Structure 1
Amino acid sequence: MKGRQILLDHIGGREAAALMVDGILHDFLIDGDAPRPGTIYRAVTDRPVKGQGGVFLKTPDGSAYLRGVKGIGQGETLHVQVTGYAEPGKAIPVTHKILFKSRYAIVTPDAPGLNLSRSIRDDDLRDSLLELAHEGMEGSTMGLILRSACAGAEPDEVADDIAAMRRLAEDVTADMVASPELLVEGDGPHVLAWRDWVDPADVVTEAGCFESHGALDSLDAARGAHVTLGEGASLFVEATRALIAVDVNTGADGSFAAGLKANLACARALPIALRVRGLGGQITIDLAPMPKKERRTFEAALRAALRRDDVDTVMAGWTPLGHYELQRKRARLPLTEVLG
């Protein structure tokens, strides 16, 4: 099926959303048992981790870990937000730099200033959106970012979104009772699909649409490690206890340029393969053989693909053995963990 479809359905009683592009699964979200990213707690500090610049916190959902803080004593109350999914047996990862994020507006309590997405280039539109931003945030010391989706929205929709996020931010930041409490639950898959998949698409909400539109078949395939790259090339994505291993193969192509072609295809396909499988953490890519002079070409292709990806990924660089490493945020639940 050609075009983009956003499918909103349930799998095994879990809310789920799938993004299909030309019949290919490009993204997948499913609810799990762990706290959702974006959840906001009023937390109480428990104990610092000496030498690591972090502190453990008490929350209603268990222990959380906050990095990069100094001068916070035991028993203090602070607001934190879940940033991703924890590895098995580890504390919930949180940050004290909270964002109140919706489809059009992001309110930033700790970062004052009014900003627009750089993808909005029309000067008249930028002026009208800045006017909405000034009106919506008048009298507030909080910051505001207007997202790229504002370019195709009605002014009233944007204004309502700004007002809703501002009210929520003010209510949460004013709440400083000295006990752990869940203040805002993170968005579920259906709301996240509305919030973040903003390009034009057909939205399908009928029960069973995953099966009728091929998403279930794509998910079954994604439970395996193999990803076809075309022209006989392929890659394998396998999660180990320590890292995600990616192996690129040229197949039967024995030409001089076979390695480079397979590696460029890997750069384009890897973000999708990782998103659909819900994989993050440390990633090591064992690329097909190619001349060292082509490494920059591969990096440029990978950087371009990651720029279109909404999961924070650091391009760490080359190892002495010629592997390429990434560090990727654990923003999804592993597919094998939630679907078995």
Structure 2
Amino acid sequence: MSLSHTIIADLRGAPPGDLGRLLPTGLGTSAARAFLKPFHAADDELFCPGALREDVALGDFVNEQVVAWADQVGIYSGRLEKLRACGFGRFMMLAHPGALDADRLVAAAKCLVAEWAADDYYVDEVELGADPMQVGSRLANLHAVTDPAQLPRRYAADMDDHHRLQPISVAFRTAMEHLSRYASITQMGRFQHQMATLFLAWTQEADWHANRRTPPVWEYLVQRHLNNYLPPMILVDVLAGYEVPAQEFYQPLVRQAFTTAGNAAVLINDLYSGAQESENDFNLPTVLVANEGLTRHEAVLRTVEIHNELMHTFVGLATQLSATGSPMLRRFLADTWAWLGGSRQWHATSGRYHSAPSSPTSPSSPTSPSSSTSPSSARS
């Protein structure tokens, strides 16, 4: 059974079929060697690697640390069991197989959960106080935490008092403090840039909700380019303990490759989260149905096709860059490839999208996501 049919079967509660996985030969393998012989799936199957690591104990440890932190800072109050079921600690364990330090994974998981919580509390989840008319102001104020604002003394105290009462602000401040133990000044700046981009994307989504407008497909894909998975992916080299030189990281082809990978990864989210969303939420299949008159089945297949096009573009760029780039860049591209596989694995098995997490020993068999156990019914 192809993956697209598996996802459709999931939506109907039918048992899924086996999914092929691409496993590079090892963490020490050069990116060029890993990308030159990609797995070629049929047109209606996802072209994506599988996870390189499944360490249940490590994932559980990171997850418990993050749930305890969430309780401490005050996010997801009353929903901590649902947060635990999401397995965000496992997400980071899967996505960063080159990271052997559990505390680095905890720092990254805190940042990830802070991002998800901001989306839930400010953008998507009405039960948590989300209001499209306030998204812009809330995110602008939050940006003053992620990239600290310098106010005149008489007003700085007012701003600090405001953020002390906002669990999302406390979550971001403490998560970034933890991350700063491992990220260089340059790497922290890259993370801050991606957060600003993400906040901009959420204001665009709020505009759609406030004006009750379904965007055309191209505009939705622009929003997903901004609201992709680069905020957590930007920590790939931080967690593995190295740093891609700035002259390579910001090279246009490198940026194109990295953003393309992030865009492809977020479409995996669109496929697996669809059953959890309200009628007012947006995902690529929904937008395709509204704009192009496709059936839900056809829209899922089209989404898989678009995902695969992006992935093939990334593979082509990564192969080219790996042949000429520094060892750090080659490692970064290989770690990005591994991140994509870990992310796919998490989406296929997480309690956020499924009634119960799938067994780690059966990574290609997601269960039916018909009953959400996530802290939010939102898209992310």
TM bin (shorter chain): under 0.3
Instruction: Tell which has more relative contact order, 1 or 2 (C-alpha 8 A, sep 6+).
Output: 2
Q: Which has the larger strand fraction? A: 1
**Larger relative helix fraction:** 2
Greater C-alpha Rg:
1
TM normalised by structure 2 equals 0.23
